Amino acid sequence: MIKIAVCDDDEKILGETLELLRHYKKLPLTADAYTSGEALLAAGKKYDILLLDIDMEGPNGIETARRIREVDKEVKLIYVTNYSDYTIFAFGVHAFAYLLKPLKAEELFAQLDEALAYGLAGPEPELEFLAKEGIVHIVPSRILCFEYLSRQVLMYTEERVWHLKRQITELAREMEGYGFAMPHKSFVVNLYAVQRIHGYEITLTDGRIIPLSQKKSAGFRRALNEYLAGERGQAAWKS
């Protein structure tokens, strides 16, 4: 039984979403409805999938998701929004997908299908890098970014820094299939680790600030938007 929570402060949309879910036939599900982020948080229940409105009174969808992520790293977050440009939102809560209002059955069902399939997927691939410190075996999600500095490439993780003898452009091509993009000629960034973009600065989840060059800004924002929309994010571990 799939457990789904729907959170939207518009009761009309809430009712329409619940009605759509009643017509999903691939697997049995239960759906709880909440009209605010406070009510969802107060319930303290564990769900497989959250359909979460972004624009709500009180804690909005972003803040609600952050608080949920503190206690539940596995729930699939599907944001529901009126905006097609997802880069305007704060990041760092690792949403599974974004859906545009008004919800359409085929789009909602497709995301539910993907969420279920993704939950059954195998582990991330382990990549191998030759570093000055030795051979490194690491999964892509642990890498925050790469930086070209002083004729070497620094690979940053939350735990430490590795020094690689690689070309940054070559790394950018190799890592593109794992959800990485190049915001600046000296950096390759894990889109999963992007928390927000402000002007020509990118903030990662560890607080690190990465420059966004004017030349690469449009391409990087497009790659991030596609990643967040699920067009490439779900394919990242399949290559």
Which of 119, 136, 152 represents a domain boundary (last residue)?
A: 119
What confidence tier does 234 reach under pLDDT thresholds 50, 70, 90? very low
In the chain, how many domains are there?
2
> How far is it, in rounded angstroms, from Cα 115 to Cα 75?
10
Alpha carbon distances (Å) from 54 to 7, 29, 64, 100, 192 = 9, 23, 9, 11, 19
Q: What is the mean pLDDT of residues 27-47?
A: 92
Whether residue 102 has a cis bond before it, omega within 30° of 0: yes
Same domain membership, residue 132 and residue 109: no
Other C-beta atoms within 10 Å of 35: how many? 17
CATH number at residue 58: 3.40.50.2300
> How far is it, in rounded angstroms, from Cα 98 to Cα 86?
8
Same domain membership, residue 90 and residue 41: yes
Same domain membership, residue 220 and residue 131: yes
Alpha carbon distances (Å) from 14 to 80, 96, 232 = 11, 20, 28
What confidence tier does 93 reach under pLDDT thresholds 50, 70, 90? low
* Among 4-13, 40-49, 90-99, the least confident range: 90-99
Q: Rounded to the nearest 10 degrees, how much is the dihedral formed by the CA atoms of 67, 73, 79, 85?
A: 100
The mean pLDDT of the chain is 87
Same domain membership, residue 167 and residue 226: yes
pLDDT digit string, tens, across residues 144-182: 999 999 999 999 998 899 999 899 999 999 999 888 999
Same domain membership, residue 134 and residue 66: no
Q: What does the buried/exposed string (b/e) look like for 53-87 if buried means 16 or more CB atoms within 10 Å of the residue's CB? A: bbebeebbbbebbeebbeeeeebbbbbbbeeeebb
pLDDT digit string, tens, across residues 54-83: 888 888 888 898 899 888 888 999 988 887
Same domain membership, residue 210 and residue 102: no
Whether the per-residue pLDDT at 139 is higher than 60: the answer is yes
What confidence tier does 123 reach under pLDDT thresholds 50, 70, 90? low
Which of 79, 99, 119 represents a domain boundary (last residue)?
A: 119
Q: What is the mean pLDDT of residues 129-151?
A: 94
Same domain membership, residue 49 and residue 77: yes
pTM over 0.85? The answer is no
Which run of H or of E encompasses 117? helix 105-119
Residue with tokens 């969420």: 115
Quote the domain boundaries for residue 20. Answer: 2-119
* Among 71-85, 93-107, 221-235, the least confident range: 221-235
* pLDDT winner (highest mean) among 90-104, 143-157, 219-233: 143-157
Signed CA dihedral, 136, 177, 87, 107: sign only: negative
Same domain membership, residue 114 and residue 6: yes
Tell me the Ramachandran region of residue 40: left when phi exceeds 0, alpha when psi lies from -120 to 50, beta otherwise. Answer: alpha
Contacts of 205 (CB under 8 A, 6+ apart): 92, 144, 193, 194, 195
Which of 119, 153, 177 represents a domain boundary (last residue)?
A: 119
Same domain membership, residue 67 and residue 9: yes
Residue whose C-alpha is closest to residue 105's, from 13, 28, 33, 17: 17
Same domain membership, residue 111 and residue 21: yes
pLDDT at position 91: 53
Whether the per-residue pLDDT at 228 is higher than 60: the answer is yes
CATH number at residue 218: 2.40.50.1020
Same domain membership, residue 106 and residue 35: yes
Whether the per-residue pLDDT at 196 is higher than 80: the answer is yes
SS3 34: strand
Same domain membership, residue 36 and residue 75: yes
Whether the per-residue pLDDT at 126 is higher than 70: the answer is yes
